[in-house]
Amino acid sequence: MNSPDLGFLWLLAIPLLPYLVYVLQDVTFISGVGYILLLFITYHVIQKVVGVFKISNLDKRAVFISGCDTGFGNLLAIKCLRRGMPVFAGCLTEKGAADLRDASASHPGKLETLIVNVASDESVEAAAKYLGIATKPYGGLHGIVNNAGIVGSHFYDDMLTLDNYREVVEVNAFGVIRVTKAMKHLVKKTRGRIVAVTSICARVGLRGIGPYTVSKYAATAYCEVIRQELHHFGVSVHILEPGFFNTPMNDETLAKARMDKVWANTPETVKQEYGERFFVEGREKTISLMTKFGSPKVDLVVDAYFHALTAQFPRLRYHLGMDSKLFHGTLRVL
């Protein structure tokens, strides 16, 4: 059984804030800043201490993870297996599944790989049917990890089509909904957890990545809704909001190829409106920003996933990466 949800403790600030204003009304500005800083530090210290407590019996906590061919999903599956957890890994390709089996052969956790395309109703339904039988020894699923995602086509909206948006939303948004709806009855049985990766782009809209941003906003909204609905069943829902990390999905060569394809399919009237130079400079700037802000510390995301699955008091949201916490976080507040 999950521990009580502490996510709404911030509501205590409603009666405390007026009291704090009253207490600090005669305090100097510098002292006031000091008090606020002390409260900020105290909050984070408490959060760190509470986050240390873990659940037990990991060898009986089965999880399903989508998108395990490469990247975060692959690394999370290996980490869970290393800790002895039973893992049902959804892979898009047979090669991805075989590589994962080879990489985790020596770990104590039990691994089963499934070929799952989160953009296909039939594929997800088949996986859910199999899991309904395969998870009986564990009483159901302890966790669903919605990790599968794509970047898709990106550049200015004038150069994109509805199909460009549909392709990304089908995986990043409907994929999360499709998997969760098909499998959440297995999580209800264990009063377990649903975890989804969205993005800092679900907080701040950045130009040039419209389809991806739209899909992540949608996935976040869905998670916020079902968090409230599933609370009655003891199921908790957690969102990861990473910034830019160096994963195969953010490969520079692939990004360049995606933008070149978009430009090649752009109508001539739009090309004339923007000009070749605009596209070339925009493409190079995008790749430069990916290089500058892309963090190699992918373990931050993997550890956050694992914490959401195994902590006694997991966070409702995880902000990951310095760009997520500082740059984009500041933009969000402003």
Catalytic machinery residues: 212
Strand partners for 236: 193
* 95, two tokens: 């090669």
Sign of CA dihedral 198, 7, 326, 224: positive
Longest dimension (CA), the chain: 68
Measure the CA–CA gap between 262 and 258, rounded to whole angstroms: 6
**Distance (Å, rounded) from C-alpha 40 to C-alpha 27?**
18
Cβ atoms of residues 145 and 73 within 8 Å: yes
Q: How far is CA 300 from CA 46, 163, 260, 318, in A?
A: 20, 33, 32, 10
Please work out, in degrees rounded to the nearest 5, the angle formed at the alpha carbon of residue 88 by the alpha carbons of 105 and 171: 120
- Classify residue 282 by burial, with Cβ atoms within 10 Å: 0-12, 13-18, 19+: middle
The rounded distance, in Å, linking the Cα atoms of 1 and 195 is 17
In degrees and rounded to multiples of 5, residue 157 shows phi and psi of: -60, -35
Inter-axis angle of helices 299-310 and 71-82, nearest 10: 50
Q: Rounded to an integer, what is the distance from CA 145 to the centroid of its chain?
A: 9
For residue 87, list its beta bridge partners. 63, 111
Which token pair is 158? 């004038």
